[in-house]
Chain A
Amino acid sequence: MTADVPVLAARRFSKTFGGRTVLREVDLDVQPGEVHGLVGQNGSGKSTFIKILSGYHAPDPGASLEIRGEPVPLPLGSEDPAKLGISFVHQDLGLFEAGSVLENLRVSRYETGLGWRISWRRERSLARQALLRFGLDLDPDQPLSSLSDVERAMVAIVRALERVGEIRRGLLVLDEPTAYLPRDSVERLFATIRRVAATGFGVLFVTHRLEEVFAITERVTVLRDGRVVDTAHTSTLTENDLVARILGFLLGSLYPEAHPVEGEAALVARDVSGADVRAFSLELRKGEIVGLTGLLGMGHERVPYLLFGAEPASGGRMWIGGREWDLRGFSPRHAIASGLALLPGNRLRDGGVGLASARENITLPTVARFLSRGVIRDGEERRGVLRLMDQFQITPAEPERLFATFSGGNQQKALVAKWFATQPKILLLHEPTHGVDVGARQQIFRHIRDGAAAGIGVLISSVDYDDLAHLCDRVIVFRHGRASAELHGAELTRERILERCYGPTETPTRGG
């Protein structure tokens, strides 16, 4: 990448919305064959930049854009990016769920024979070729719904490339494609991305996950408050360097310090069985943070729901607070009364209601607290919520704002606040940092640690091995519904977890 003409050269991109400047003089270039990372907090201007490239926004005057060395007039119309060879894959993938792989790939570019008839044979073979070019051995007639999440993401990428057709040295913009993918499948996706780059395409890769920046990007640009803080070769940065640039200050550490664990048991579960889980037993002590992990479908992701009574258990007994329970008749009501709290993985379906206000969501389990003489006291409720918003750093601190309008990180903090307000003895979490940015993640970890220090027993089911390695006192790896390994102390590292997930004789392979 020396004297090559960059695929994309954006200069002095700025954007002001009615008095608020969200993007300031951003310069960014992507070389052919380069995977270029774009990172920044929510509100740093990342999505505004992407929206300018896709033609959704017009940049302020003074900006210039060159594609493959040719100047391009701004603002871009909605048809221009495809014509210029720029294609996008967003978090929601934009795929047509009810269709087949073929229909999704070719939907805008059907080859027609005489009289507008679609030539399916030709379509099928073109689709298969396109997929194979990127290492995907899929039957084009397969329904999209039968694919795994990572295969879907790869189909979305191939489709994005198909859209720009014959153009070489185009630009593929990936906007957080891995946010909802299981960690262990991400490598397969990266293999596809590397192949894309190898064909001469430039790739602009937006992510919240720092380890992905280190895994796949050659250079990374950090945005903060709408400005470029730095563009650097990834190999010259450490994780702390990157975090410091993103947040503007050194965290000290992304993960707070460990605290010694008390001896007393907060929860004991024996022979818990349910869908995907077989005879799992656990002793969770007060102040202990235990992680559950494994490959997807191995059962660890069901345990929090089984213990909370959210999913039907086929067997198991549980002791909490001196009382014994048969998990078969256990319900969330029993769980909450026993001092359990659950933060589900699917935030907007199970965690909080988007169309209700933050206040209503946060106070839902504790609203009876504000009852006085048969009436909920508005003022007290509001004050209580503002206190929680301050304590849990939820911004903006507007209780009446609809829950859906908060960023993912703030939504999750609000749900953490909701459950901490119930003063739980046990906190169960499933994928607590899905779709949550770095700053919010750190804040949530601190609250979990503080809770543990105050005596709460914490159980986290996650496939984020880094989080688990840094946050947990011990991690239990699941295979086929049972605990197959337990790691703690010096053994508790990301690599060791990976090894145990795949089994002693298998090692994770790189590439699709």
Chain B
Amino acid sequence: MKHTVEPRTRGAAPTRRLSVGSLGSRYGLFVAWALVIVVYGFLVGDLFLQPRNFQTILSERSILLILTLGMLPGLAAGEYDLSVASTMGISFVLVGWLNIVHDWPIVPTVLVALAAALLVGVVNAFVIVVLDVLSIVATLGMGTLLAGAALGINNLIVAGVSDGLVNAARFKVLGLQAIFYYALLFTLLLWYVFRFTPLGRYIYFVGLGRDVARLTGIRVNAIRAGTLITGSVIAGIAGILLAGRNGSVDPSFAPGLLLPAFAGAFLGATTITPGRFNPWGTFIAVYFLATGINGLQLMGITGWVEQAFFGGALIIGVVISRLAARRAVT
């Protein structure tokens, strides 16, 4: 049965009237998530279904979600920032080094860590927008440089982050750690910008058609630079929160989050507004992946599972997004 229904989200829906098929593609990931939960419920049973497990799933991956959300404005504007994870790493390491090794109070520590992330963003923006270097190339270099720099600052795992930060990250509301709520807040904030403000519109157009945007009077370069800097700063925040959540700092940990972040962003682009990067889709995607991995771990399959999941998700996400975009035009 077909009805004409006004799409709830902005007009990225394909041209046809809403039908069971297109509803499926728009909320498919959500349905997949529900299915995964049901399946694991059968396979693993109580160990999976208990509330504490879900709290773990949601809390554990919140940092990843924040990092991924930070990437969205850049991706929507057509810029690929491969240095976000390493930027997170720099802020992460700086908290460990200043707060733990050098006994700095937490507040100046956080400020320096944020400033470092901001600096990275500004340098990236300069190289990409002013010097006109392709974003993938510039940030690949920057990311590698930062990963090394992090180890240069402090190559030991250190523990003992100030209570102030630890509590800010870990205090629980309804059984969920505070970082989950920060992630939720970022999701809502980005959703507001992308969905309800002219800026969100402009960002999408910069990504979809830079010349059109420029000829319509949009400040293309300011938007490109702004989204890159935003991504870096949010990555810095993620790093700081990670230090709080863990209470310790492992300088080699952060760069490994790059692929999962991309996977979450691309998989998120297959749902809610298929073909476009969007915050709620990313929210669902990251937790869908987290749930998937969690269940397998509970079944005793560990180690290689995470990488396989994220890698596979990235491929599937890109393929489905392409198909959605292509189908919408025919």
Interface residues in chain A, defined as those with a beta carbon under 8 Å from any beta carbon in chain B: 308, 310, 332-333, 335-337, 342, 344, 349-357, 359-360, 364-365, 367-368, 371, 374-376, 382, 398-402, 404-405
Contacts and interface: CB of A to CB of B under 8 A. Distances in A.
Contacts of A350: 211-212, 215
Contact of A354 (B7, B11, B211, B329): B329
Contact of A368 (B10, B12, B198, B214): B198
B13 interface: yes
B137 to A, nearest CB: 24
A357 B273 CA distance: 12
Contacts of B105: none
B211 A364 contact: no
Interface string B264-306: 0000000000010000000000000000000000000000000
B80 interface: no
B92 interface: no
A360 B217 contact: no
Interface string B15-39: 1000000000000000000000000
B172 interface: no
Contacts of B6: 382, 400
B208 A400 contact: no
A355 B11 contact: no
Given A332-B214, A344-B215, A374-B197, A355 B205 contact: no
Given A360-B11, A374-B196, 14 more contacts: A335-B217, A342-B215, A349-B211, A349-B212, A353-B208, A353-B209, A353-B212, A354-B209, A360-B205, A400-B6, A400-B15, A404-B329, A405-B15, A405-B328
B220 to A, nearest CB: 10
A402 B326 CA distance: 11
A337 B196 CA distance: 24
A402 B15 CA distance: 6
A402 B274 CA distance: 13
Contacts of B196: 374-376
Given A364-B205, A401-B15, A336 B217 contact: yes
A400 B7 contact: yes
Interface in B177-213: 192, 196-198, 201, 204-205, 208-209, 211-212
Nearest to A337: B217
A168 to B, nearest CB: 38
Nearest to A404: B329
Question: Closest 3 interchain pairs by CB?
Answer: A357-B11, A353-B209, A336-B217
B217 A367 contact: no
24 contacts: A308-B215, A310-B215, A332-B215, A332-B216, A332-B217, A336-B217, A342-B215, A349-B209, A349-B211, A350-B211, A353-B208, A353-B209, A355-B275, A355-B329, A356-B204, A356-B208, A360-B10, A365-B216, A365-B217, A371-B197, A376-B201, A382-B6, A400-B7, A401-B15
A152 B209 CA distance: 28
Contact of A352 (B15, B212, B219): B212
Contacts, number: 89
A344 B216 CA distance: 11
Interface in B77-100: none
Nearest to A335: B217
Contacts of A405: 15, 328-329
B96 to A, nearest CB: 39
B219 A359 contact: no
B148 interface: no
Contacts of A332: 214-217
A400 B215 contact: no
Size range of the interface on B?
Answer: 20 to 34
Nearest to A343: B215
Given A356-B204, A402-B14, A402-B15, A364 B216 contact: yes
A398 B216 contact: no
A238 B12 CA distance: 46
Contact of B201 (A333, A344, A367, A374): A367
B215 A371 contact: no
Contacts of B14: 402
Contacts of B214: 310, 332
Nearest to B276: A355
Which of B201, B214, B215, B219 has the most A CB atoms < 10 Å from its CB? Answer: B215
Contacts of A355: 208, 275, 325, 328-329
A308 B214 CA distance: 11
A310 B217 CA distance: 10
Interface in B110-135: none
Contacts of A404: 329
Nearest to B201: A367
Contacts of A357: 10-12
Contacts of B12: 356-357
B316 to A, nearest CB: 21
Nearest to A371: B198
B75 to A, nearest CB: 15
A308 B219 CA distance: 15
A405 B326 CA distance: 11
Contacts of A367: 198, 201
Contacts of A402: 14-15, 328-329
A392 B217 CA distance: 23
A294 B251 CA distance: 66
Which of A356, A374, A382, A405 has the most B CB atoms < 10 Å from its CB? Answer: A356
A308 B211 CA distance: 14
Contacts of B215: 308, 310, 332, 342, 344, 350-351
Contact of B15 (A356, A368, A398): A398
Contacts of A375: 192, 196-197
Contacts of A360: 10-11, 201, 204-205
A401 B7 CA distance: 11
Which of B217, B275, B329 has the most A CB atoms < 10 Å from its CB? Answer: B217
